[in-house]
Every structure is written in C-alpha cells, then in structure tokens.
Amino acid sequence: MQVQATLAERDLRHLWHPCSQMKHHEKIALLPIQTAKGCWLTLSDGRRVFDATSSWWCKSLGHGHPRLKAALLAQLEKFEHVMLAGTTNVKIVDLSEALCGLMPGLAKVFYASDGSSAVEIALKMSLHVRHLQGQTQRIQFLCLENAYHGETLGAMSVSDVGLYRQPYENILFETSVLRDLPYVNSKEDALWQDASQAFAKQMPMLKKLAKSLTAIIIEPMLQGAGGMKIISADFLKRLSQWAKTNDIHLIADEIMTGFGRTGKMLASEHANITPDFICLSKGMTSGFLPMSAVLTTNLIYNYFYADKIEAGFLHSHTYSGNALAAAVALETLAVIREEALVDRANELGVAMSAHLNEIRSQFDCLGEVRQLGAMAAVDVRVDNVAAFRQAVFQCGPEHGVHLRPLGSTLYWLPPLITSEAELAQLAKATQVTLAAALRGQHAN
Ligand code: PMP
C-alpha cells in the first residue's frame, strides 16, 4: 500500500528555499502556513505565530489588510498588467506623483520588481550619467561596512556581508568600504547628533577617492542584514554633504527603511539628506506584491533626455510598474498617512525597547538594546551562533513567535499595526523562546 507523502516531504522533494541550508530541514520543520492575518500566521495545526520580522521586513501593514485587498481586487477588475514602455494608466501616474512628493527635489520614478533590481538600476544610472558626461574616471562605488544591498552581482559588489559574498568574491567588482563607523544604540546617543570626530577620521580615505567615485551607497540610519545596526545621523549627513561638494552621487537604499519603519516616512529625513537616488521596495506594497522603485531628480533624468536612443536608459523589467502592485502601493501610502503609522512606529519603538530591556534583565548574555522607530535588536553572547539561530527558529513557533535572528542578533521588526496587547504577547513569546533556545534543548 502506498503511503501518502506529507506536505513537508513533497516540499523538500522539489523546493529550494531562499537563503537556506536545505540540509538543516532534515531537523528543522518547515512552518506550514494555512492563513495569515494582521501580525499573525496560522499554521495548518491551528497554532498562531506572531510574524516578528514582518516576513523579511515587507509586511508593514500586516497580512491581508482589507483596504489593500480591496484596492487589489478593484484594479483586477480593470486590468492586471500591461507593459509600461509606451503605455500609461491612472494608478501608475498617481503613484509616481505620490512617491515624488515624499521629498523635495525628487521628480522621476523608475520601476522594477524587487529590491536588488532597484539597487542595480541606481548603480547603472549613476555610471551611465558619468558616461554621458564624459567623466570616464568616475567608475568606482563606495559602500559602508556591514552594508547589504541585495543578491544580484552588482548589489553584492557594493555590499559588505561576507557570508553572502564570499563564494563570488573573484568576479565581484571592486568597491571601497568605509569602516570604523559611529554606530549608536538609539537617537539618544550623543554620536547621533555629533559625529564630527568619527567623520574627520574618514577624510584621508575620502580624499583619495574624491576623483574616482561615481556614487556612495548607504542604508540610511539603519543597516538591516548587516545586523540591525544604527548609524549616527550626523555622520551620514556629513558624508552626504561631502559627496555633494565633490560631485559624487548619493544612493540611499531605503528598501528596508522606507515607508515609516524608522519613525520617518523616509529614513533619510533623520539627517535631512537629499539623495540623488532613493531605492524603495518591501513596505511599498506592504508585501502584497513585488514592486520596487528608484526615485531620482530632474538633474539626473535630463542627462538621458536626448534625441539619440542610445542616450536613453534602456533598462527594462517585464513587470516594471505592474498595475496591481501600483494600486496596492498607492493604497498603502494612503493607509500610512490616514492612520498616522509613521508616528505609530515611534510609539511602538518606545514600547518595544521597554519590553526588550525587561527581557534583557532576565538573561545575563544579552547586550544593550538598540532601537530606531519600530525596530529593536539585541546581541546575544553565545558560543555556537549557528546552533543558537536554529534553536530560536525551531523553538519560536512552539511558543507563538516566528523569529529569524541575524547571526547572534535577535531583533523585532513587527508590522506597524501591532497593538500594545500584541506586543506584550510578542515579548512573552520571545522571552520563553530565548530561555528554551539558551537551555539548548533544540541546539544540535
Ligand atoms: N537592500 C536592502 C537594504 C535590503 O534589506 C534588501 C532585502 N533584504 C535588498 C536591498 C534586496 O531586496 P530584494 O530581496 O527584494 O531583492
């Protein structure tokens, strides 16, 4: 008699999961998702699990938001997708106006489907401008230590997270990296306001690069995959001013930080930075559909505005400006505004910080809590980082939470709609999970 394979067995037969060591799934069960609503995932056995990372940082309005669903369905009645080259529609025009309204000086939007593609576009646009200007010596990029900008080869070339880069190191293009950055735990840190000394130390390196750089790429204020690290706003302000003075473009990768996460609509606002390019994705559609965008200025755009086709930016993605995604993105912006979710991110952050500090007081291996907007993180001192990560991932669902530490950094990046009561549930579940993981009952 043939025994029916379980869903997990069928999955592992054919699926290759993202950012995963598949062999680990011999021991770590895949979470079978049945439904997802608000901050909660419901598993096929009925367990409810808090989505503490907003599903890789994109579900800023949570799962299944009724207004986003309605916007999606309304657009579906009209049309789902028509190629954007040579066509237009009301949703994409409304969305482009709204995005350009996010910061003075932004005037043009170029659409793609995921964050990495948006980074590639910004890198290419910057280089292309130099080509059009005849500035052939400006072909270098500068990134920050612990930077993460995506998984495609260009995005990886301007990233500094060895784990992801290492196997491809030989073919990645050379990028200079600014190290010894003034990291802070919160906006209260004096360095947040004044990083003059830390910046002065960078001057010798910056001076050497001044004539060869086309652009500096940063994750404004908060580096995600590099370990949820918060950078002094004053430092980034100074870096951006230096870039402007030296005719170097600034690319702000706001793929994780955009749309309110850090307590400002755009994280660049913390330091009054006006980048030449802003990359957006993730929270843009609250994780309903893949969409990304590069916002830029008329100054950049006008270099490409010419009679010759080859002067144009001949970059295309099939789903550029997808109408369903555009409709949802527009509604996401409306909800963020109407429900004052940027302010809510700040309130939530204060409460998150208090809860995490309370948890910290119960363990002696947790470092200081760091927090910016609705992100709070803490480093855990453990001997075996891989076993700790796995144990947290494994224990979490048993206690009602889906956590995915970055190395030994435990963090919360919950939907911005999280209530106080839900936050208390998240805190309780995290505390129990941490205790179980540290007891090593799941470590292997
Ligand atoms: N930049 C940053 C700051 C990110 O956090 C990410 C995704 N984690 C990316 C770029 C890449 O985005 P995607 O995964 O959509 O390609």
DSSP code string of 117-159 = HHHHHHHHHHHHHHHHHT-TT--EEEEETT----SSHHHHHT-
Q: Which residues on neighbouring strands pair with residue 363, listed in sequence order?
A: none
Report, as an integer, the average pLDDT of 225-251: 98
Indicate if the pLDDT at residue 444 is higher than 50: no
CB 235 within 8 A of CB 199: yes
Q: Is 331 in the pocket of ligand 1 (CB under 6 A)?
A: no
Q: What is the pLDDT of residue 15?
A: 98
Quick check: 347 pLDDT over 80? yes
Tell whether the model's pLDDT for residue 14 goes beyond 90: yes
Pairing of strands 375-379, 409-412: antiparallel
By the 10 Å C-beta count (0-12 exposed, 13-18 middle, 19+ buried), 167 is classed as exposed
Span from the CA of 216 to the centroid of ligand 1 (angstroms): 17
Number of the ligand 1 atom closest to the C-alpha atom of 116: 16
Interval between CA 363 and ligand 1 midpoint (Å): 32
Q: What is the mean pLDDT of the chain?
A: 96
Q: Whose CA is nearest to atom 2 of ligand 1?
A: 149
Assess whether the C-beta atom of 219 lies below 6 angstroms from ligand 1: yes
The residue contributing the CA closest to ligand 1 atom 13 is 115
Which atom of ligand 1 is found nearest the CA of 292? 15
Q: Nearest-CA neighbor of 349 among 406, 286, 412?
A: 412
Six-digit token pair at 284? Answer: 């843009």
d(CA 90, CA 323): 9
Query: What is the distance between the alpha carbons of residues 342 and 346, in angstroms, rounded to a whole number?
Result: 7
Q: By percentage, how much of the chain surpasses pLDDT 70?
A: 99
Return the pLDDT at 443: 40
CA 281 to centroid of ligand 1, rounded, Å: 8
Minimal-distance CA residue to ligand 1 atom 9: 150
pLDDT (average), residues 66-87? 98
* Closest protein CA for atom 14 of ligand 1: 115
Residue 415 has a pLDDT of 98
What pTM, to 2 d.p., does this model score? 0.97
Is 185 a pocket residue for ligand 1 (Cβ < 6 Å)? no
Model confidence at 195: pLDDT above 60: yes
Q: Is the pLDDT of residue 335 over 60?
A: yes
CA of 256 to the centre of ligand 1 (A): 7
Cβ of 146 below 6 Å from ligand 1: no
> pLDDT for 91-127, tens place per residue?
999 999 999 999 999 999 999 999 999 999 999 999 9
Here the tokens at position 94 are 């409304």
Beta strands 401-402 and 48-51 are parallel
pLDDT computed for residue 1 by the predictor = 65
309: left (phi over 0), alpha (psi -120 to 50) or beta: alpha
From ligand 1's centre to the CA of 166, what distance in Å?
Answer: 18
> Residue 31 phi/psi, 5° resolution?
-80, 115
Choice from 53, 255, 291 to test ligand 1 binding pocket (greatest atom count within 8 A of CB) = 255
> Which residue among 57, 111, 121, 148 has the greatest number of ligand 1 atoms within 8 angstroms of its CB, and so is best to mutate?
148
Rounded Cα gap, residues 336 and 344, in angstroms? 10
Is any atom of ligand 1 closer than 6 Å to the C-beta of 256? yes
pLDDT value for 212: 98
Model confidence at 173: pLDDT above 50? yes
Residue nearest to atom 7 of ligand 1 (CA): 150
| Predicted confidence (pLDDT) per residue in 407-431, tens digit | 999 999 999 999 999 999 999 999 9
Does residue 301 surpass a pLDDT of 80?
yes
> Parallel, antiparallel, or unpaired for β 292-296 and 277-280?
antiparallel
pLDDT tens for residues 34-60? Answer: 999 999 999 999 999 999 999 999 999
- Position 2 scores a pLDDT of 72
Which tens digit of pLDDT belongs to each residue from 355-407? 999 999 999 999 999 999 999 999 999 999 999 999 999 999 999 999 999 99
- 281 in contact with ligand 1, CB cutoff 6 A: yes
Question: Residue with the nearest Cα to atom 12 of ligand 1?
Answer: 115
Cβ count within 10 A of residue 96: 21
Q: Which of 242, 244, 240 is nearest to 270 (CA)?
A: 240
Sheet holding 48-51, edge to edge: 33-37, 40-43, 48-51, 401-402
What does the pLDDT look like over 128-150, one tens digit per residue? 999 999 999 999 999 999 999 99
- Please say if the pLDDT value at position 264 is more than 90: yes
